[in-house]
Amino acid sequence: MPPRLDAVVIGSGPNGLAAAVELARNGAEVLVLEAAATVGGGTRTAELTLPGFHHDVCSAAHPLGILSPYLRTLPLAEHGLRWIQPTASVAHPLDGEPAVMLRTSPDATAAGLGRDSSAYRRLVGPMLRHPDELLAEILGPAHLPRHPLVLAGFGAPALLPASVLGHTLFRGERARALLAGCAAHAILPLTRPVSAAIGMLFLLTGHVETWPIAQGGSAAIAGALAGYLLALGGRIETATPVHELADLPPSRVVLFDTSPDQVATIASPVLPTRYVNRLRRYRYGPGIFKIDWALDGPIPWTDPACLESATVHLGGTLDEIVASEAAVWRGAVSDRPYMIVVQPSLFDSSRAPAGKHTGWAYCHVPAGSRLDLTDVLERQVERSAPGFRDRIIGRHVMNTVDLELYNANYVGGAITGGVTDLGQLFTRPVARVDPYSTPNSDVFICSASTPPGGGVHGMCGYHAARSALRRLASAAV
């Protein structure tokens, strides 16, 4: 029998790889098992449309990647990761007027908000006094704040519904739309408490660092993490699915970079029935419909300022976005949905052949939806970029079923690891003092279904690894 490993990590998304790196950095012997042929989870890149067009299969822009308190401590540049930063983080087109722009400078952003410029500065100013400390407080499990005064800068507004904050703080549609476009990343009704917190978080990130893309595609993020792990002596085995505990080699601890449902299925023999049942009651929320385009030119935005950012929020005014997101939670889809559009090839020539471009977009849909929303999404782009369809030379679509087949973590097409409302924000996947632990002291969860939730930041993996390292240390005594 081979010697027992210190740790096995199931899944090689950014959280699984971050967990493995942190374990290996602390001397643990680690093996990562990945069911697919390549590492990456939500950070893979592929020629989805035509040869030479490199599309991000899942995540595309990474505001929390460049700002991650953990990833920033790793020498990922030495392993091939290069962040490309446009001149603006977000463009938000509005009908009949210039797009709203989220720029690194709060003053430059506020200048485009008309009569709400002062109110906007009052909202973001306290958050920007100590942004690194604030992000460290937010991107982790519930805890006694290490910087309570800094956290107070986030303040009471974060607890509000984004719709309430937008209508009470701002008088005009431009600032309201900017807040709504950022808040809708939460995939929550914007009438629910704490939806404002997500909007404020993304506004904060845009003022600290311009939202980046990874040169060559998001696969470079996973590639750099995997390269560093191998340099530390860790091991990775791809094309190795895990269906039951018997599929695992002997190890002291096991970490799951998977959905709670997969933890319940694989680890049920060593977990209490009551805990397994609670995992199975975990709420994943709506899914997405995603489309990638091969284009023979840039998206022809009415406002050329949209070409300054890789990320464009579509959906119109705050009230339109509120209605769009509410429809999804009712089991419907708006005919003018909120969309996130990313245009990597504007800033990374490796993404498409010379003179050509790529486009990436999704909207939120009810979980399990099989609807083909190609026409709906393309009409929404045409609303702000007339002639867009004339530039399409190839397309690839994924509905919620396709997404779950691609990655079993995307239950019902949900890409954020589960609902991030008050009921699951810090108690994901089950309310525990240590949310990364389970009732079995040798089994841990490191996926986006633990705090702080979805996003390419590796913080779920880092915190889970720290919990597992404490277990390894206690077992060695």
| pLDDT tens-digit map of 302-342 | 999 999 999 999 999 999 999 999 999 999 999 999 999 99
Of 361, 383, 406, which closes a domain?
406
Q: Region 232-246: what's the mean pLDDT?
A: 97
220 shares its domain with 365:
no
Q: Region 238-249: what's the mean pLDDT?
A: 97
Give every CB contact of residue 254 below 8 A, 6+ residues apart in sequence.
7, 8, 9, 10, 245, 248, 267, 442, 443, 444
312 shares its domain with 187:
yes
Whole-number Å distance between alpha carbons of 417 and 401: 16
pLDDT tens column, 435-473: 999 999 999 999 999 999 999 999 999 999 999 999 999
399 shares its domain with 376:
yes
Which pLDDT does position 426 carry in this prediction?
82
DSSP single-letter state for residue 168: H
Q: What is the largest CA-CA distance in the chain?
A: 72
Give the number of residues written for the chain: 477
Instruction: Please check whether residue 379 lies inside any domain of the structure.
Output: yes
31 shares its domain with 93:
no
pTM: 0.96
Instruction: Please check whether residue 413 lies inside any domain of the structure.
Output: no
Instruction: Please check whether residue 398 lies inside any domain of the structure.
Output: yes
Q: How many domains does the chain have?
A: 2
Edge-to-edge strand list for the sheet holding 235-237 = 235-237, 30-33, 5-10, 251-256, 443-445
Instruction: Please check whether residue 411 lies inside any domain of the structure.
Output: no
E-state strands within 149-301:
213-214, 235-237, 251-256, 287-295
- Write the CATH number for 457: 3.50.50.60
Give every CB contact of residue 431 below 8 A, 6+ residues apart in sequence.
none
Q: Which domain holds residue 353?
A: 83-213+285-406
249 shares its domain with 194:
no
| pLDDT tier at 147, thresholds 50, 70, 90 | confident
Which pLDDT does position 152 carry in this prediction?
80
